[in-house]
Amino acid sequence: MQIEKLPFNAKNLLEETFYNIIPEDDPKNLKLIVDADESANTNVLSDPFRIKQILSNLINNSYKFTEEGSLTVAVSLQKQIEDSYILTYKIKDTGLGISKDKQEEIFEEFSQEHRQIEKKYGGTGLGLAISKRITNLLNGELSLKSEPGQGSEFIVRIPVIKLKDATEVIPEAQINNTHLNGKNILAVDDESSQLALSRELIKSIGMNCDIAQNGKEALEKLEKNKYDLVLTDIQMPTMDGFELLNKIQSKNNLKHIPVIAASGRTTLSNNDYLAAGFSGNLLKPYKPQELLQKIGDVLHLELETNSGIKIQTEDSSDEFSLKEILLFAGEDKAALNTILKVFVDASRKNLLEIKKATEKKNTSKIATIAHKMLPMYKQLNTRNIVFQLEQLEKEVPSYFEEQKIQSLISEIETLLAKLEREIIV
């Protein structure tokens, strides 16, 4: 197995992995907690692909064996000597737990605590063994704290090099960063690839950007942290954008925070959003300049636009274009990688949900997923895929034929394979 040395954001990696694994409509209704220490919101050098593999195995495992209670993931960064740090990830659940005499054995191949577990939950018992081996290859340590009936906590410690942060310049707009430093924005969206786009753009101009995947999680973060602005999607599970706005406006300690709506819905006008109490709105898919201009207007910041947009990377093919995505990433290759990786992962998760909904003939669920997928596929200018997703969103009966849906899935999977080759290593 080859180990790479690549830059990545330790906090972002955990959040993206976690939200891509947990089902959108969690049937277990677990309390999901992401505890990211601010020290981890920085770029470090190691192998993000292998670390993501470890985290995926551990999070999947904890979710599978936890029927009720909570699942908590945490990340922190501790300094050692000079630029050498220890990156620590913790995955804690309230599941079955593991007896002390079996805790060493579960890291062996094809091992589970007892046959009843294998019979009820399935699986090969390979996930933990693979995670242990990868951690060792990264010169790290994977340990476990657990008590039967009280849950488990897996702790991953990996040595990394901390990189110096660098502020990138967005080619489409120039902003006086002295007004932006220290500004905190909370972006809320149930589509992780859309969150990745917004976050990379907002961070690149000097602002801080936290993310939440639904209104409930957003409220928890608003109570815990201080934000200057909220950017929220409208159509989300658990709590939609209008409900989130009402909750914010009902709380004395939050009602001063301006909220911008971002939605693919065309049935509502600008006045409808303003009448509801939003400080502004954006129609998805929006351009980076539109988002920055709206943030500038709401926060009363001067924004000098530059119409001479320069993009160094040519369009990848006639089937799709990275032109719009590059405007969000600027010249930051790591940001482009992050956006593409999150998009590919999120798309595969959405395709799996479409397959399940097709088997159950749940057309409304398919329409909801299509609505969620549309903005990013419009950003990529995938005209044929966009057209088919629009027909599903509108619930046009002929497009729900199993053969047509399978054809769409195959077309998207081919596109995702091509996009993976665009990721710069």
Report the pLDDT value the prediction gives residue 181, as an integer from 0 to 100. Answer: 56
Judge whether 6-162 and 173-310 match in fold: no
Listed in order, strand segments (DSSP E) in 10-151 are 31-36, 43-46, 70-79, 84-93, 141-146
Of 73 and 407, which is predicted with more confidence? Answer: 73
Rounded Cα distance between 158 and 101, Å, is 26
**Mean pLDDT, the chain, integer:** 81
Q: At residue 259, does pLDDT exceed 90?
A: yes
Q: Of 303-317, 332-346, 403-417, which gets the smallest average pLDDT?
A: 303-317
Q: At residue 412, does pLDDT exceed 60?
A: yes
Report the pLDDT value the prediction gives residue 170, as an integer from 0 to 100. Answer: 35
Report the pLDDT value the prediction gives residue 188, as an integer from 0 to 100. Answer: 93
CA-wise closest residue to 348 among 414, 399, 284, 393: 414
Q: At residue 49, does pLDDT exceed 50?
A: yes
Q: Of 39-48, 188-197, 324-333, which gets the smallest average pLDDT?
A: 324-333
Of 114 and 139, which is predicted with more confidence? Answer: 139
pLDDT in tens, 217-257: 899 999 989 999 999 999 888 788 999 999 999 999 999 99
Report the pLDDT value the prediction gives residue 318, as an integer from 0 to 100. Answer: 53
- Alpha-helical runs (H) found in 380-401: 383-393
Q: Are 53 and 127 in contact (CB under 8 A)?
A: no
* Other Cβ atoms closer than 10 A to 149: 10
Q: At residue 118, does pLDDT exceed 50?
A: no
Regarding the domain delimited by 6-162, which CATH topology (the fold level of the hierarchy) does it fall under?
A: Heat Shock Protein 90 (3.30.565)
**pLDDT band for position 53 (cuts 50, 70, 90):** confident
**pLDDT band for position 321 (cuts 50, 70, 90):** confident
- Please enumerate in sequence order all residues whose Cβ is within 8 A of that of 304, keeping only pairs 6 or more positions apart, or say none: 173, 174, 175, 176
Q: At residue 119, does pLDDT exceed 70?
A: no
Report the pLDDT value the prediction gives residue 114, as an integer from 0 to 100. Answer: 45
175 - beta bridge partners?
Answer: 303
pLDDT in tens, 262-315: 988 777 888 888 888 999 999 888 888 888 888 888 887 754 433 333 333 334
Determine what percent of the chain is predicted with pLDDT higher than 90: 25
- The number of residues making up the chain comes to 425
Q: At residue 160, does pLDDT exceed 90?
A: yes
Report the pLDDT value the prediction gives residue 103, as an integer from 0 to 100. Answer: 63
* Domain at 173-310, CATH homologous superfamily: Response regulator (3.40.50.2300)
Q: At residue 361, does pLDDT exceed 60?
A: yes
CA-wise closest residue to 336 among 316, 319, 350: 316
Q: Are 44 and 85 in contact (CB under 8 A)?
A: yes
Of 150 and 425, which is predicted with more confidence? Answer: 150
**pLDDT band for position 28 (cuts 50, 70, 90):** confident
- The average pLDDT across 130-141 equals 90
Q: At residue 89, does pLDDT exceed 90?
A: yes
Rounded Cα distance between 204 and 50, Å, is 26
Report the pLDDT value the prediction gives residue 403, as an integer from 0 to 100. Answer: 84
Domains of the chain, by residue range, sit at 6-162, 173-310, 334-422
Report the pLDDT value the prediction gives residue 182, as an integer from 0 to 100. Answer: 66
- Per DSSP, the three-state class of 407 is helix
Q: At residue 7, does pLDDT exceed 60?
A: yes
- The average pLDDT across 399-406 equals 86
Determine what percent of the chain is predicted with pLDDT higher than 70: 84
- The average pLDDT across 44-66 equals 89
Q: Of 33-42, 71-80, 109-118, 410-419, which gets the smallest average pLDDT?
A: 109-118
Select the highest-mean-pLDDT range: 37-41, 196-200, 203-207, 288-292.
37-41
Of 286 and 11, which is predicted with more confidence? Answer: 11
Rounded Cα distance between 388 and 405, Å, is 9
Report the pLDDT value the prediction gives residue 330, as an integer from 0 to 100. Answer: 65
